[in-house]
Amino acid sequence: MTTRSPVLELRGITKTFGTFTAVHGIDLTIAEGEFFTIVGPSGSGKTTMLRMLAGLESPSAGDILLRGQRVNDLPANKRPTCMVFQSLALFPHRTVGQNIEFPLKIRDVPAAERKARALQLMAQLRLPESYYGKNVTKCSGGERQRVALARALAYNPDILFFDEPLSAIDYKLRKTLEKELKDIHRETGKTFVYITHSLEEAMVMSDRIGVMRLGHMVQVGTPNEIYTAPNSKFVSEFIGDVNIMPVRLNGGRLVSDELGAEFLPPAVPTGFSNGHLVVRPESLRVLDRRDEAENVLTGTLYNEYALGSRIQYQVRVGERVFIAERLRQQALTGRLDTEVLVGWNARDSILVSD
């Protein structure tokens, strides 16, 4: 894979509001043409971070470099970037075509050239040509989303910033737009920097994900790295369903005092003495025999949930509820409230710190 050059670099970026620090000394490099998503719970600092990157806020300390040039004090309208807001910020009394052409009009692009560019973008974003003269308020939520993206692309920016643009859209349409955004990213080759609280959006679309917590960027990696190798309890719990148990290392075994059980550990991080053992639901299996897994627990099958091709099971072990999965073809039948074995192999688990 060809190494892409950096387009955006953050060096020790900090943002304070009075005595409150919203973003703490973040270092980050985003590559040319990358789809980079910042995720985190409410109050994690992700929106403040995006506003600094887009030029809507100035950092209190540190530097933002765009293609190697410091842009801390360069206003948003002077940067080769564009923001797609959650509210979309379309002009309600203008047509689809007029909304898309607006950035070209303020640059004095001739009318015929503006229309040609608008129609080109509409075709790329699967908006019918007949919508060119349609009032934008007559469009559906998904269509307005496409109009906002077309308008952003009309600027021909180097970087597009997205502030939770799909959060107000229904589930089915959101899934469609996730795939379309990823396709558009691939087709245009633009750098996308995306903010969301939705793990699912981040996992589907991103080349890399940055996880924020309390103003800190706590882990950066590919979706697979974030999911399979979280570096903390917080990240492991934030990125999807998880079974997580407090454990301590004792003589090469992991001891769960809560469960009164010992487990064969995965690779043990240097210096690890206690922390949490993480097992994803797809790695925790409902067993027929104890010898089917290296680590086994006995519990009670409490409930089940159909998730398309998978069935997810809740299994109570003492006071703790575990989540296990099976393919639909291997679904259990008629066993609720009965005793079951659940287990996993050591290599399919992860040890993390607090």
| Domain match, 109 and 138 both | yes
- At 309, the pLDDT band (50, 70, 90 cuts) reads confident
Alpha-carbon span 295 to 266, nearest angstrom: 11
**Domain co-membership, 186 together with 297:** no
- Give yes or no: residues 197 and 284 share one domain: no
pLDDT bucket at 334, cuts 50 / 70 / 90: low
% residues pLDDT > 70 (the chain): 99
332-345 average pLDDT score: 86
Q: How do 349-352 and 339-344 pair as beta strands?
A: unpaired
Tokens representing 109?
């692009």
| Vertex 285: Cα angle to 279 and 235 (nearest 5) | 20
Residue ending a domain, among 228, 258, 273, is 228
Residue 273, domain extent: 241-352
Percent of the chain with pLDDT over 90: 62
Give the burial string for 22-41 (b: 16+ CB within 10 Å, else e): bbbebebebbebbbbbbbbe
Kindly tell me the burial class for residue 82, based on how many C-beta atoms sit within 10 Å of its own C-beta (0-12, 13-18, 19 or more): buried
Does residue 250 sit in the same domain as residue 222?
no
Domain count, the chain: 2
pLDDT at 1: 43
- Residue 89: what pLDDT? 82
> Which pairs from 2-6 meet CB under 8 Å and 24+ separation?
4/31, 4/32, 4/33, 4/34, 5/31, 5/32, 6/30, 6/31, 6/32
Task: Give per-residue pLDDT as tens, 135-161.
Answer: 999 998 778 888 988 998 898 889 999
Q: What is the mean pLDDT of residues 266-280?
A: 92
Same domain, 120 and 194: yes
Task: Please tell me which residue, 13 or 75, carries the higher pLDDT value.
Answer: 13
Backbone phi, then psi, for 161, in 5-degree steps?
-105, 140
**Do 201 and 257 reside in the same domain of the chain?**
no
Cα pseudo-dihedral 235, 239, 245, 247, rounded to 10 = -30
pTM, 2 dp: 0.87
Tell me the C-alpha distance between 28 and 33, whole Å. 15
Q: Does the pLDDT at position 258 exceed 50?
A: yes
Residue 96, pLDDT > 90, answer yes
CATH code of the domain covering residue 103: 3.40.50.300
For residue 306, the model assigns a pLDDT of: 86
List, for residues 48-88, the tens digit of each pLDDT value: 999 999 999 999 999 999 999 999 989 888 889 988 887 77
Domain-terminating residue out of 228, 252, 269 = 228
**Is the pLDDT score of 2 beyond 60?**
no
Residues sharing a CB contact under 8 Å with residue 199, sequence separation 6 or more, in sequence order? 39, 238, 239, 240
In this structure, the answer to whether residues 80 and 214 fall within a common structural domain is yes
Q: Contact at 8 Å (CB) between 162 and 194?
A: yes
Q: Which residue has the higher pLDDT, 198 or 38?
A: 38
pLDDT, the chain, mean: 90
Q: Residue 329: its pLDDT value, please?
A: 77
